[in-house]
Structure 1
Amino acid sequence: MDENGLAALQAGSQGYYVRRDGTHLPVITCDNGPDYFAQGVVRARVDGRIGYYDTRLQLAFAARFDGGFPFRNGSVEVCDGCREGAADAGGHTDIVGGTRLRIHRQGNALPDSP
């Protein structure tokens, strides 16, 4: 268990965070394990869309996207209409195509979005 009372588990190709009470969240797999929390949120794919969840495993904000990166410096780049590109030699994929924007921690677009 980490400082938030969460255990990180990997079952096959799916990563999870699990609380002692059994509450769990399937998250994106990154570097052969569950995605990392960045600035208090983690990415999860629900119904084919990316959402961001807090350390209580609750949805952090209602927005859903086709792709998104981890938060950094209070904001994150997300996209709609994008998809994962081909994997490189290290197994990492980039997000290609679509419309990109930058959002802040409350899920609203920043004025200087690309």
Structure 2
Amino acid sequence: MDRKLLPFVILAFLPLITFCSKKLQLTAFEENGVYGYKDQNGKVQISPQYSLAYDFNENGVGFSFSKDGWICIDPQNKVLLHTFTFDNGPDYFSEGLARFVEGSKFGFFDASCKKVIPANYDFAFPIQEGFSLVCNGCESVSDGEHSSIHGGKYGMIDKTGKIVIPIEYDLITEVDPKSKTVQASKGNVKTEIRLP
């Protein structure tokens, strides 16, 4: 092929490459009280089967409510993960990550529903200032409308999942993002710990 024509050939195929690389955008629709998904041409891609469904995001995944709770699915209706239910919906993203539950353990995922931090914790609080407070041996106790976490040992992880404070404290409070310190208690001993 003539090298002078190569740029024109590339430009001719560029729209096709761009189109093929875009994630499939599916829109939720309701039929007889259940939800499914249609493509941009109105063709049903996932038949109605969910109690509630959100449109697919720009990363090509959708959040739907099934008999197993809130899930994240791909365009082939494959379940990618089970999200933590927060405020009657899938968990909110905080600093690019949200929580998922796997075998009653908590981990974190990104906007593509890729698991970023494995589910190794009995509970994990949302990421704030680059860190999450996590606990093992703790449990969620409901007061009817709300729940609170009781018992167990607490520590902190960063956004990569690295443990920055060992999970061995009875309580971690007073996180100060300016000084990057936390107050931790073990028994009757209080300690100030610096975050990395």
Q: Which band: TM-score by shorter chain?
A: 0.7 to 0.9
Larger Rg: 2
- Corresponding residue SS for 1:71: coil
Q: 1:74 to 1:93 in 2, by over 3 A?
A: same
Q: CA RMSD in A?
A: 2.1
Name the structure 1 match of 2:70: 15
Moved more, 23-32 or 93-102: 23-32
User: What is the alpha-carbon distance in structure 1 between the residues aligned to residue 78 and residue 120 of structure 2?
Assistant: 21
Shift of 1:35: 1.2
TM-score in terms of structure 2 length: 0.51
Name the structure 2 match of 1:93: 147
Matched AA of 1:32: N
C-alpha contact (below 8 Å) 1:29/1:35 kept by paired residues: yes
C-alpha contact (below 8 Å) 1:9/1:33 kept by paired residues: no
In the alignment, which of 114, 119, 129 is matched to residue 58 of structure 1? 114
Bigger share in strand:
2
In the alignment, which of 155, 158, 178 is matched to residue 104 of structure 1? 158
Name the structure 2 match of 1:77: 133
- 1 or 2 for the larger relative contact order (CA 8 Å, sep ≥6)? 1
C-alpha contact (below 8 Å) 1:51/1:63 kept by paired residues: yes
Aligned residues: 112
Give the % identical residues: 28
Deviations 1:31-87 (A, max 9, x none): 111112222222111112111122232221336100111111211111011000123
Bigger share in helix:
2
Deviations 1:10-42 (A, max 9, x none): 224601122224343211111111112222222
User: What is the alpha-carbon distance in structure 1 between the residues aligned to residue 91 and residue 128 of structure 2?
Assistant: 14
Moved more, 95-104 or 57-66: 57-66
Structure 2: state its 5+ residue gaps: 1-55, 166-180, 185-196
